[in-house]
Amino acid sequence: MRPRKERAVSASGEDPTSLVVAYLSQLLLLQQEEGFLVREIRARPLGEPPTAVVASVRGELFDPARHPARIEVKAITFHDLEIDLKRGRARVIVDI
């Protein structure tokens, strides 16, 4: 994938958990509505603990000749969502 185009993405939530779902849902919306595939992300969390994020994402539009279509993600869920702010990690289960 070639990061040719850039988009601004922002999201907010009541807490870090809802922020993760909101942000990933925004990225999913880019893919579903525009066919935009994200390759690089530069995100800046806001708040302590973070309840908002502003980001610049780079990527390209889906090209069926170059990008294999496999499983489609339908939604980001709260089910079993785990966040470790100290380690900068999260586990997210998506709805397919």
Distance CA 53, CA 55 (A): 6
Give the pLDDT band (50/70/90) at residue 70: confident
Give 49's DSSP letter. Answer: T
- Identify whether the C-beta of residue 56 lies closer than 8 Å to the C-beta of residue 3: no
Domain that holds residue 49: 5-95
Q: What is the pTM of this model?
A: 0.89
pLDDT at position 28 is 96
The CA radius of gyration of the chain, in Å to the nearest whole number, is 14
Q: What CATH number corresponds to the domain at position 81? A: 3.55.10.10
pLDDT at position 1 is 61
* Token duo for residue 62: 């889906």
pLDDT (average), residues 57-66: 93
Residue type, 74: K
Q: What percent of the chain has pLDDT over 70?
A: 97
Q: Which residues contact 74 (CB under 8 A, 6 or more apart)?
A: 94, 95, 96
Give tens-digit pLDDT for 2-34: 668 999 999 999 999 999 999 999 999 999 999
Give tens-digit pLDDT for 42-52: 999 999 999 99
The count of structural domains within the chain is 1
Give 64's DSSP letter. Answer: T
pLDDT at position 88 is 86
